[in-house]
Amino acid sequence: MPVGAGTSDVVTADLNGDGKLDLAVVASGDGSAGSGRVAVSLGNGAGGLGSFTTVRSGGAPTAIAAGDVNGDLVADLVVANSATANVTVLLNSGTGSFTATATLAVGATPNDVALDQIDRGRVLDVVAVSETGDFVKVWPGNNNGTFKAPVTTSVSNPVSLAVMDLNNDHMRDAVVASAADNRVRVLLGDRTGRSVGARVHRVDRLHVVLFSKRREPIPGAPIATPMRSGFVATALVIAALLVLALGILPGISLDVALAASLRKG
């Protein structure tokens, strides 16, 4: 399905409240400040998708995430925009149409964005990385489509991230890929959006171990793949998490054990 020039990221979510997954894709156009678009296609629940409708985002969008940021129980969208160095907040009308209501200033080259419950509240917060700015920013949500002032953590050349509880303390942590030095940085959270500790690893070999809902390893796992690029390895870790989160592999628990052959350094 044609979307537009410069397609760079995609997310699935129920965008119109019918219980079926829909699709939102970002396209940068010619890369100028006014050419970025988000294309939305509503699913029919049988693998079919409707025609795309578009809404303007910031310049040269690079990443997108979906989640309810204003408490109306329908998924909204946030988009990281490289050319305009910000994140656009797109609120959902409830029918799959969107309106840009806010922009969050990130810094140069915001390559990735996520929505998760980072601070002590039970509402979604925005997390974004700035590659050339060398930091990760967290904007705590107010559950009404607005956000508090950001909390910043210094990270060298971050290009992508995943958010999860890595140490079973019921607080959200972040794994950040740093392309410049082939490192993965693990940022342990303290429920304020700040990092209480950072562990830096070089990725040499990736192991993905999937567990069934009975906590038994699935036949054929683990899968060990030699990696010469820390960025590639981290991308595969994040891709594996997305596969599970989207339910692409039926019968597999969302409780997945992902272990990378990591070397400190």
Q: DSSP letter string over 96-117?
A: S-EEEEEEEE--S-EEEEEEE-
Q: What 8-state DSSP symbol labels residue 198?
A: E
The answer to whether residues 40 and 76 touch, using CB atoms and an 8 Å cutoff, is: no
Joined together, the tokens standing for residue 246 give: 């989207």
Residuewise pLDDT in 10s, the chain (265 residues):
556 666 789 999 999 999 999 999 998 776 666 678 899 999 999 999 999 999 988 888 999 999 999 999 999 999 999 989 999 999 999 999 999 999 999 988 899 999 998 876 688 999 999 988 888 999 999 999 999 999 898 888 889 999 888 888 888 888 888 877 777 888 887 766 555 444 444 444 333 334 334 434 344 433 333 344 445 555 555 565 555 455 554 444 333 333 333 444 4
pTM of the model: 0.73
The rounded distance, in Å, linking the Cα atoms of 56 and 77 is 12
pLDDT at res. 101:
93
The rounded distance, in Å, linking the Cα atoms of 192 and 138 is 9
Joined together, the tokens standing for residue 178 give: 């740093």
pLDDT at res. 247:
53
The answer to whether residues 185 and 136 touch, using CB atoms and an 8 Å cutoff, is: no
Joined together, the tokens standing for residue 116 give: 């998760």
Place of tokens 């969208």: 77
How many residues in the chain? 265
The answer to whether residues 101 and 61 touch, using CB atoms and an 8 Å cutoff, is: no
Under 8 Å CB-to-CB from 197, ≥6 apart: which residues?
Answer: 187, 188
Mark 204-226 as b/e (b = at least 16 C-beta within 10 Å).
eebbbebbeeeeeeeeeeeeeee
| Kind and range of the H or E run holding 235 | helix 230-245
Mark 79-112 as b/e (b = at least 16 C-beta within 10 Å).
bbbbbbbbbbbbbbeeebebebebbbebbebbbb
The rounded distance, in Å, linking the Cα atoms of 259 and 210 is 10
